[in-house]
Structure 1
Amino acid sequence: MLLPLFDSGITQMQARYHQRQQRLLSVLKEQDIHNLLVFNYENILYLTGYSGNAAYLIVSAEGLWLITDYRYFERAKSESFGCALICRDRDSESLGACIKRLLPAGKTGFESNAINYGMWLSIANELVNTDVAAFDGSIEKLRMVKDDFEIASIKKAAAIADLALADLLTQVSKGVTELDLATELDFKMKKLGSDGISFDTILLFAERSALPHGKPGDKKLNHGDLLLVDFGAVVNGYRSDMTRTYVYGEPNKQQQQMYDAVLASQSKSLQSLKAGVDCQQLNQISLDVLAQSGFAQYAGKGLGHGVGLALHEVPFINPVTDYRLEVGNIITIEPGVYIPDFGGIRIEDDVLITESGFEFLTHAPKTFVIN
């Protein structure tokens, strides 16, 4: 059951999850939904603190139930807050039967985007007499505005990434492969205290830097090559996300023009960054700068995205997102230009929207030329 906030023995951690759960229950009440079946990993972590796998959460006005099995039950006991723990015997009880046994009466929503069709059919077959409907995005909207714990975690993840990149740049040399450097970067972040990597590190040379989400391979670095690195660290489940692009040696004219255009695009966008700015307007500011430079046709789609427990989360900074930035949003600003068979430039920073404007969370220098 939910913990009462007035309990003098409540910890700061318990209060954090209690407040998140109460906010969600208020949303459900407004939508006339009594229960919500939560399947998304990040949403379960956000609401309960449990960071393991094989978990399913029932949120109800009558309480919260976290369902797992013997493999994760003790871990859930040590990590979760504000919910009853259910250790399901997978051999004797299906997930659907377990949910049916626990689910209070009333209209029930479920996260349709976070469960595969076959698994949902097996659950739905047990809930044939329950009023069930898809209900997506409610928790993700709550996650858009970060609290102090979330901000501190992402700041630490970003600081780890800054330090790891500084170390990596001392190892750049002619003949090193993309995979060599990517592996070193991942290792360094973990040595510095990262829980893992925020996503599969993107580290690409020369014409391969035009692949926005390319995979590091055995290509070797030569003088005059572009070097794009997009990566992040993880602290308490919260991710950082930063991109820097370099040229190894002296840039040619087109490389320099591309870099100058992307840097100008990011700088202009940042000048307009504050609470109340429309995401569509912000995206257009970036595109206008790239259009003036002649690179608009090679621009990436969208200026940035929210970042937190998931790498890409709302709000998205693109031509279709109808949202005005709020204090507490953490977003990326990452314009890019990608010319096939030539190369790509992307510059990306994590920023926190504040009362006075914004704060950089990533601080690595934006030096273009490295030797």
Structure 2
Amino acid sequence: MEPDFSRLTEFLGDDFDGYLISADGSDSNQLYLSGFDAPDPYVTLFTPDETALLVSALEYGRAKKESRADTVSRLADYDYRQKYTEYGPTVGKAKAIAEFLADHGVETLATPADFPLGLADSLRDEGVAVDAETDDVLTKIRAVKSDEEVEHIHAAQKANEASMQAAEDLIRAADVADDGTLHYEGEPLTSERVKEEIEITLLRHGCALDETIVACGADAADPHDRGSGPLSADEAIIVDIFPRDKETKYNGDMTRTFVKGEPTEAVREWFDLTEEAFHAALDAIEPGATGEDVHDAVCDVYEAAGENTLRANPTAETGFIHSTGHGVGLDVHELPSVSQAGEELEPGHVITIEPGLYDPEIGGVRIEDLVVVTEDGYENLTDYPVELVVE
């Protein structure tokens, strides 16, 4: 994949000679700009003429083979070990980078807003002009996905569907104990046990995650409560899975709400209302619409039914208390925002649609699919039924 960095070149204009990132491969902007993943920090320099890497000797051979850089240099080429011994890690590294920049004709730099402050100050001491940009230029470029990136995300979502099926099957197979908790193979069925099944399934499909949400009852009333302990019958169980493909590094994201047994009247009403809001959001997606437009469509449905929203009440603690969605790519949360601050949607934006309602006295309900904005609307990258009761 060769990203189009013309917007980055345009951003640099006459103000900057280059754009510099110093981070490891877990930084998505670093990974995207360099095309290289390494566990230790390395330097990527972008100029309108080339992309150049400065890496440790350990990563030099692999960077030459795997990165999309035009040139790869070693810290050793700039006597980094001697500079480290004489000046310490930060100043020594800055001196090596300054020489690297000089070799590429760079005197003025733009960096991400989170560029290391100590390194920036030390580069300035070496005569390099460094300005942290706050336009999120790379994250905005990353937000518009190529067809190849959409396929990567779609593949992660297919793995996600398999893990959601594994979770649902486990809940379906559970028995209801006398105390109302769910049991599976003679043991209490816990949030932790369902998460384990999700993680094992994802690993078999080449994906992994650091954590997921399996939250039941009052736990589900907090949108980001991961959930813990025994699951119960007749209560809503929110399952929210957001895996990352281990090879491509692209993410998926999906949420379903299940009830084993008989949902309360309130949960049933909330589920039907949330499904209506979900479809209203999908109907609002088209190029030129904004994330705010899509969010408003959800709020309109909820508010018409008398439910709280943050749009109507910014201090609400129950009801619809989060945004409608977010971008997904190399990060599971990235641009564009589908919220009151949501910007214009473009073809290639991959976004979640995830309305929900929450109250500790009732529990929580959320439905989430992952879609890509197209020239004439959207394509849903999720193929999984939306059904409340697990029988």
Common topology (TM > 0.5): yes
Q: TM-score per shorter chain, which class?
A: 0.7 to 0.9
User: Which residues in structure 2 correspond to 1:79-228 (within 5 Å)?
Assistant: 79-88=66-75, 91-92=81-82, 93=84, 94-103=92-101, 104-113=105-114, 115=115, 119-128=116-125, 129-136=127-134, 137-172=136-171, 173=174, 174=182, 175-194=188-207, 196-197=208-209, 200-217=211-228, 219-228=229-238
Residues 122/55 of structure 1: CA separation in 2 closer, same or farther (3 Å cut) = closer
Alpha-carbon distance in structure 2 between the residues aligned to 1:184 and 1:141: 35
Deviates more, 1:151-160 or 1:295-304: 295-304
Instruction: For structure 1, list consecutive stretches of 5 or more residues without a partner in the other structure.
Output: 1-12
- Shift of residue 106, structure 1, vs aligned partner: 3.3
User: Which residues in structure 2 correspond to 1:1-371 (within 5 Å)?
Assistant: 13=1, 16-17=2-3, 20-29=4-13, 32-39=15-22, 41-53=27-39, 54-88=41-75, 91-92=81-82, 93=84, 94-103=92-101, 104-113=105-114, 115=115, 119-128=116-125, 129-136=127-134, 137-172=136-171, 173=174, 174=182, 175-194=188-207, 196-197=208-209, 200-217=211-228, 219-235=229-245, 236-297=248-309, 298-321=319-342, 323-371=343-391
Given that 2:235 and 2:264 are in contact with CA atoms closer than 8 Å, whether structure 1 keeps it comes out as no
Given that 1:182 and 1:216 are in contact with CA atoms closer than 8 Å, whether structure 2 keeps it comes out as no
Indicate the structure (1 or 2) with the bigger Cα radius of gyration.
2
Please report the TM-score for the alignment, with normalisation by the length of structure 2.
0.83
Given that 2:261 and 2:390 are in contact with CA atoms closer than 8 Å, whether structure 1 keeps it comes out as yes
Residues 88/363 of structure 1: CA separation in 2 closer, same or farther (3 Å cut) = same
Alpha-carbon distance in structure 2 between the residues aligned to 1:223 and 1:229: 15
* CA displacement 1:230-261 (0-9 Å, x = unmatched): 11232301111111111111101111111111
Please report the TM-score for the alignment, with normalisation by the length of structure 1.
0.87
- Shift of residue 70, structure 1, vs aligned partner: 3.6
- Shift of residue 332, structure 1, vs aligned partner: 0.6
* CA displacement 1:130-155 (0-9 Å, x = unmatched): 22211141111111211011011001
RMSD of aligned residue pairs (Cα, Å): 1.9
Partner SS for 1:140: helix
User: What residue identity is the alignment partner of 1:158?
Assistant: Q
Identical aligned residues as a percent? 26
Instruction: For structure 2, list consecutive stretches of 5 or more residues without a partner in the other structure.
Output: 85-91, 175-181, 183-187, 310-318
Alpha-carbon distance in structure 1 between the residues aligned to 2:58 and 2:241: 31
Residues 83/23 of structure 1: CA separation in 2 closer, same or farther (3 Å cut) = farther
Alpha-carbon distance in structure 2 between the residues aligned to 1:151 and 1:293: 36
- Shift of residue 23, structure 1, vs aligned partner: 4.2
- Aligned positions, number: 346
Given that 2:164 and 2:241 are in contact with CA atoms closer than 8 Å, whether structure 1 keeps it comes out as no
